[in-house]
């Protein structure tokens, strides 16, 4: 009997990613030796973790839960540790460790997904014989057919990490297909679309951030703490999270001046329309050369 080819499946715990996992289990289990993996930053919404854990049990995925370990030693790179639903960080611990070494990320320094997700998963892959110098097992990412720029097999990251996009290229599924699937299921991801998986992702639009700030200002306490504790790391002045080099206090002040109904209107999107990486920050999208 021919040995099955390994396929690492990056499960972000978003609904498109979960749909991809079920699609692969149902249609490709006889072709690939499937390895489902999730990288937790400690800043995921609790409902995201609950949803991912239920998908794991309902679909029989046997997900490997990882958290990145950032070394203070230059050149060592990211390491990983294995956790589970019960032991996964909920208070940003892996993220803070990364920030204490690399500084606060923002739209000009988009390092967090690469370090805490991509490099963490890659370290686990190397330790488990799924990647080595000059070779990597295929890695599946949950980009859909309505996200052609994000599911481009010719871009540098796709070639470097041997990425495949099952939803876009093996089944031609778009967001309406994903929504139809979850509408028929007895459970789904129970968070509003403007929240996304990461509580206060700096990639979100100002309108989304302002609305979240009005609804849950306490979610930004952690960002404020990180600015105070680690804002000086790798910074001549101080790194800030938000567009326009605003501090968290400035973002909250801006949010308080905005009309709530206007923000709701601005953030309300067609449920069948793609909304980019703010819904689930996917690994393996970094185009910075030289990163493993």
> What percent of the chain lies above the pLDDT cut of 70?
92
Q: What is the mean pLDDT of residues 223-241?
A: 91
User: 286 and 109 in contact (C-beta within 8 Å)?
Assistant: no
* Confidence check: pLDDT of 165 > 80: yes
Q: Is residue 276 part of a domain?
A: no
pLDDT of residue 77: 86
Can you tell me the distance from the alpha carbon of 292 to that of 290, in angstroms, rounded to the nearest whole number?
Answer: 7
Confidence of residue 281 (pLDDT cuts 50, 70, 90): low
Reported pTM: 0.90
> What percent of the chain lies above the pLDDT cut of 90?
73
List C-alpha distances in Å: 119 to 74, 100, 123, 171, 194: 15, 17, 6, 28, 27
Secondary structure class of 139 (helix, strand, coil): strand
Q: Is residue 78 part of a domain?
A: yes
DSSP β-bridge partners for residue 66? 39, 82
179-215: per-residue pLDDT in tens? 999 999 999 998 888 888 889 999 999 999 999 999 9
Can you tell me the distance from the alpha carbon of 123 to that of 79, in angstroms, rounded to the nearest whole number?
Answer: 6
* Confidence check: pLDDT of 268 > 90: no
* Confidence check: pLDDT of 53 > 80: yes
User: 17 and 9 in contact (C-beta within 8 Å)?
Assistant: no
For 117, phi then psi, to 5°, come to -115, -70
Q: Is residue 206 part of a domain?
A: no
pLDDT of residue 269: 56
State the total domains in the chain: 1
Question: 54-73 burial, b if ≥16 CB within 10 A, otherwise e?
Answer: bbbeebebebbbbbbbbeee
**Which residue range forms the structural domain that includes residue 35?**
5-192
* Confidence check: pLDDT of 272 > 50: no
CATH number, domain at 108? 3.40.50.620
126-162: per-residue pLDDT in tens? 999 999 988 999 999 999 999 888 889 999 989 999 9
Q: Is residue 151 part of a domain?
A: yes
Q: Is residue 211 part of a domain?
A: no
17-49: per-residue pLDDT in tens? 999 999 999 999 999 999 999 999 999 999 999
Q: Is residue 186 part of a domain?
A: yes
* Confidence check: pLDDT of 271 > 50: no
Q: Is residue 182 part of a domain?
A: yes
Q: Is residue 159 part of a domain?
A: yes
């Amino acid at each position: 009997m021919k040995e099955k080819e390994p396929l690492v499946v990056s499960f972000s715990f978003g609904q498109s990613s979960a749909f991809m996992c079920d699609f692969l289990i149902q249609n490709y289990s006889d072709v690939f030796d499937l390895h489902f993996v999730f990288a937790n930053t400690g800043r995921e919404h609790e409902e995201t973790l609950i949803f991912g854990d239920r998908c794991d049990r309902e679909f029989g995925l046997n997900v490997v839960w990882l958290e990145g370990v950032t070394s203070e030693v230059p050149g060592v790179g990211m390491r990983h540790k294995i956790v589970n639903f019960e032991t996964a960080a909920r208070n940003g611990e892996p993220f803070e460790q990364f920030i204490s070494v690399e500084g606060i990320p923002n739209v000009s320094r988009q390092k967090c997904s690469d370090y805490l997700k991509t490099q963490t998963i890659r370290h686990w892959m190397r330790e488990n014989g799924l990647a080595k110098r000059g070779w990597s097992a295929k890695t599946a990412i949950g980009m859909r057919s309505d996200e052609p720029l994000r599911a481009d097999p010719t871009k540098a990251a796709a070639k470097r990490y041997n990425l495949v996009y099952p939803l876009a290229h093996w089944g031609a599924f778009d967001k309406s297909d994903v929504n139809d699937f979850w509408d028929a299921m007895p459970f789904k991801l129970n968070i509003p679309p403007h929240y996304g998986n990461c509580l206060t992702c700096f990639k979100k639009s100002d309108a989304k951030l302002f609305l979240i700030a009005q609804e849950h200002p306490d979610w930004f306490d952690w960002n404020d703490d990180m600015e105070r504790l680690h804002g000086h790391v790798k910074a001549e002045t101080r790194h800030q999270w938000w567009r326009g080099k605003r501090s968290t206090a400035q973002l909250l002040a801006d949010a308080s001046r905005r009309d709530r109904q206007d923000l709701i209107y601005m953030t309300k999107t067609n449920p069948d329309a793609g909304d980019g990486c703010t819904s689930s920050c996917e690994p393996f999208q970094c185009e910075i050369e030289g990163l493993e």
